[in-house]
Amino acid sequence: MAGRRRRLIAGNWKMNGLFGPGRAELGKLARKLLAAPPRGADIVICPPATLLRPFSDLLRELGAARRIALGGQDCHGAESGAHTGDLSAEMLRDAGARYVILGHSERRADHGESDASVRDKVVAAHRAGLTAILCVGETAAEREAGQALAVVRRQILGSLPESAEAANTAIAYEPVWAIGSGKTPTGPEIVEVHAALRATLAARWQEAEKVRILYGGSVKPGNAAALLGLAEVDGALVGGASLTAAEFWPIAGAGG
Ligand code: PEP
């Protein structure tokens, strides 16, 4: 590896957060990050889309817009049009997002997203100038069947477009069975998957050494340092523990 990749610690609020309490929590996190910024990590919060604009305004007010970036949790592949209920990557950007999580297993399961549709969304994110956080990961049954590496390889090859560069794309390895369960793979299991992902990327992409590969799935203050200390782990995608500044702050600190 040419040098240490800068860490990326992203919080996925999922369908959680209303204006008042959400604003209060983001304000607490911003103040902590302003007082002691993690030097080696980029910090991103991906709230529900309804909060992107107010959060963007709050971060600007607090002078924290360079400390915390905002992201969406999904986007449509098209720029605009007759797609009731959907949001385009351009709309996320317009509301203050710089990142967008794509292909999260909850979207793949709840909305039937395929690798091909995720790929279209990644293209859309790049078109709008957003950094895509592209999620891959196996189910418990796939891991038990010895298919974990094959599944993540298939997902990455099927969903990474030509427009991907290390500057506009990060990969998040999120075993489905580890999300929200309190379970995590062992260190060697995580390293094995991250190394396989990087090797798969290297076979078709010159930028492979520079791309950040995050781990996601039950990252908590108590295990963050160990997970972030693993070889090939360049950051974390955090769900439940990103909802409060008290829990997310130590994870962000572990990344710096
Ligand atoms: C996630 O859904 O992206 C996630 C990692 O969730 P949790 O941290 O709650 O397991």
- Write the pLDDT tens digit of every residue in 168-215: 999 999 999 999 999 999 999 999 999 999 999 999 888 899 999 999
Closest protein CA for atom 3 of ligand 1: 239
Provide the whole-model pTM.
0.97
Dihedral sign of CA atoms 137, 223, 227, 73 in order = positive
Number of domains in the chain: 1
Kindly state the average pLDDT of the residues 84-97. Answer: 98
Closest CA to 92 of 71, 78, 123: 71
Closest protein CA for atom 2 of ligand 1: 239
DSSP β-bridge partners for residue 132: 100, 169
Catalytic residues: 104, 174
- Does the beta carbon of 105 sit less than 6 angstroms from any atom of ligand 1? no
Average predicted confidence (pLDDT) for the chain: 96
Name 63's Cβ contacts closer than 8 Å, sequence gap at least 6: 34
Best mutation site among 12, 110, 134 for ligand 1 pocket (most ligand atoms within 8 Å of CB): 12
Tell me which residue range forms the domain holding 142.
Answer: 2-255
The pLDDT of residue 206 is 87
Q: Look up residue 212 and give its two tokens.
A: 């950040």
Dihedral sign of CA atoms 26, 49, 94, 103 in order = positive
Interatomic CA distance for residues 115 and 119, integer angstroms: 6
The pLDDT of residue 204 is 84
Q: Phi/psi class of residue 112: alpha, beta or left (left: φ > 0; alpha: ψ in -120 to 50)?
A: left
Q: Do the beta carbons of residue 130 and residue 97 sit within 8 Å?
A: yes
The pLDDT of residue 2 is 46
Closest CA to 159 of 119, 217, 199, 211: 119
Q: Strands 235-238 and 212-216: what pairing?
A: parallel
The pLDDT of residue 3 is 64
Name 194's Cβ contacts closer than 8 Å, sequence gap at least 6: 173, 213, 215, 230, 231, 232, 233
- Report the separation in Å between the CA atom of 206 and the middle of ligand 1, taken as the mean of its atom positions: 30
Name 186's Cβ contacts closer than 8 Å, sequence gap at least 6: none
Least confident segment among 49-63, 147-161, 171-185, 194-208? 194-208
CATH number of the domain at 22, please.
3.20.20.70
Kindly state the average pLDDT of the residues 24-42. Answer: 95
